[in-house]
Structure 1
């Protein structure tokens, strides 16, 4: 029998994306998977629509916005309690190809050392442009980058390849990884959770692999917006937290220079493009990291 896969989706007011995502999942060819939705207190009627149109889907209502990590953890716990062999984390603003799960499971079964894997993520609606085929995360600079980002897809990525991290919009994790390292670190709340999780998995001997033959489409920047206040704050704070958790002492000899350059570039961009409205979030992110204020940050928005 095929391994049992639980597809875990976090929903937060995702009404406009429900049909695209769930209809594509219903066309999936993999014979043994279930879908569970962890709802972060949606108020747009999306929960009611899911209950009405997709009665076979399990919905866990959290009644509050738990963020990406904690919201996923709720679904992951449910999946593990119900004997999942793999947990596939999927953003609601995605559309999957019918064979996406089959390709991932086949790759993982062929190599037991693989703990985390993910598909080729394509932009939507620009379906010929790559968003990510995994990514690199070099601790000497501490800034993650996406492999294949913004490249036209000419079939240049064909074979499974080892990477440092998998895009959090679509990542599959073997049960044994959770049993060894635990769930997502909920201190992040939003951004960098997948980078940190993959670092922790790799430290514990699991391979992180991107599988280009498995394909999903992601409505880029729909989930959070880009360079808004929320993005800037969490991205700044969590970049530092991820380094604190995963870097070795000598990585800190070079990281500050890259971080300062990156943040200065961000400061200039925000000032020029957004009138400086998001700029204070850089400083709030650094300040909260230094005083250990993690999780959801209230009062800044």
Structure 2
């Protein structure tokens, strides 16, 4: 019998708790749930401890970020002899057969290290918008065609990328690839993990005959990780440098930004020149060294960043 753990990273998840954790209680296969809380300020912690006694609830007094918090849960699950670890967003929930079907799919196609269901929106009346981009014809022609023709197969469709809102990680994947790269605090870590998974010769797939619901629609507030130009630039830069398939380095970016600075000054675009100068000095020497070292670890080490 497979040992299955679900790992959920939370930060003020109260409005989704019952849908998320409640759906796991309805799972056709037995799961053990670990919640890693990133210093929530709502009363979700007490609510979970009171109403979901089966959950292993771990709370931190600081926000560790998505990847680092997941690594704690993945490591704990692995050391408890998990055969599979299912990563689930706090604002997402499953159907009763979701995890069971993913496991069956892996048993039929063990070359896949990351398996994900179809991601619907919170209402369940359309694909999650971001997910629809990941499986568009330019990235996964076969699945898109089968959706249109209403002939979805009960096999895994290989994809370039699928976000970590709902990932089934196999034990082999954890042992081979490891955890999330700590160079990323929030966002970008799943894209890097997919790159590393493929670099280690494991595949990434979507099982189109099962689904989850991802409720982005009720999120509130401004997301600085996408609105702030420097935050966005930093994340994309770290992604470029950390990609195991790429030789891109910080000197390449320095040269690029230096040329842009000269060009913007010549055209009297001093506002743009100032932004490009900020990009040049965004990361200090220590940060750059750590990012380079983490890339090396992700390539060389098995179970990188988990210490298992």
Identify the residue that residue 238 of structure 1 maps to in structure 2: 235
* Whole-angstrom CA distance in 1 between matches of 2:56 and 2:4: 14
Offset of 1:157 from its aligned partner? Answer: 4.6
* Whole-angstrom CA distance in 1 between matches of 2:176 and 2:182: 17
With the length of structure 2 as denominator, give the TM-score of the two structures. 0.73
Offset of 1:55 from its aligned partner? Answer: 0.5
Report SS of the residue matched to 2:102.
Answer: helix
* Whole-angstrom CA distance in 1 between matches of 2:218 and 2:281: 28
Paired residues for 1:99-114 under 5 Å: 99-114=97-112
User: Root-mean-square deviation (CA), in Å?
Assistant: 3.4
Taking a change above 3 Å as real, the CA distance of residues 129 and 115 of structure 1, as seen in their structure-2 partners, is closer
* Whole-angstrom CA distance in 2 between matches of 1:58 and 1:282: 46
Among 142, 145, 163, the residue aligned to 1:167 = 163
Identify the residue that residue 272 of structure 1 maps to in structure 2: none
Taking a change above 3 Å as real, the CA distance of residues 96 and 70 of structure 1, as seen in their structure-2 partners, is same
* Whole-angstrom CA distance in 2 between matches of 1:283 and 1:223: 34
Report SS of the residue matched to 2:27.
Answer: coil
* Whole-angstrom CA distance in 1 between matches of 2:173 and 2:23: 27
Report SS of the residue matched to 1:237.
Answer: helix
Deviation per residue, 1:107-152 (Å, 9 max, x gap):
111122111111100112252334326837xxxxxxx979889xx9
Taking a change above 3 Å as real, the CA distance of residues 180 and 93 of structure 1, as seen in their structure-2 partners, is same
Taking a change above 3 Å as real, the CA distance of residues 184 and 281 of structure 1, as seen in their structure-2 partners, is farther
Deviation per residue, 1:156-195 (Å, 9 max, x gap):
6544211122211111111122222221011111111111
Identify the residue that residue 88 of structure 1 maps to in structure 2: 86
Identify the residue that residue 6 of structure 2 maps to in structure 1: 7
Deviation per residue, 1:233-266 (Å, 9 max, x gap):
44432222111122434x89xx98xx99xxxxxx
Taking a change above 3 Å as real, the CA distance of residues 286 and 84 of structure 1, as seen in their structure-2 partners, is farther
Among 182, 185, 189, the residue aligned to 1:189 = 185
* Whole-angstrom CA distance in 1 between matches of 2:121 and 2:133: 14
Identify the residue that residue 58 of structure 2 maps to in structure 1: 60
Query: Is 1:25 the equivalent of 2:24?
Result: yes
Number of equivalenced pairs: 260
Among 275, 282, 289, the residue aligned to 1:288 = 282
For structure 1, the 5+ residue unaligned runs are 137-143, 261-279, 296-301
For structure 2, the 5+ residue unaligned runs are 258-273, 291-308
Offset of 1:289 from its aligned partner? Answer: 4.7
**Does the CA contact (< 8 Å) of 1:224 and 1:231 recur in 2?**
no
Identify the residue that residue 274 of structure 1 maps to in structure 2: none
Identify the residue that residue 229 of structure 1 maps to in structure 2: 224
Deviation per residue, 1:59-109 (Å, 9 max, x gap):
111221111101111111111111111111100101211111011100111
Question: Larger Rg: 1 or 2?
Answer: 2
Deviation per residue, 1:255-296 (Å, 9 max, x gap):
98xx99xxxxxxxxxxxxxxxxxxx9998677535756489x
Report SS of the residue matched to 1:288.
Answer: coil
Identify the residue that residue 135 of structure 1 maps to in structure 2: 134
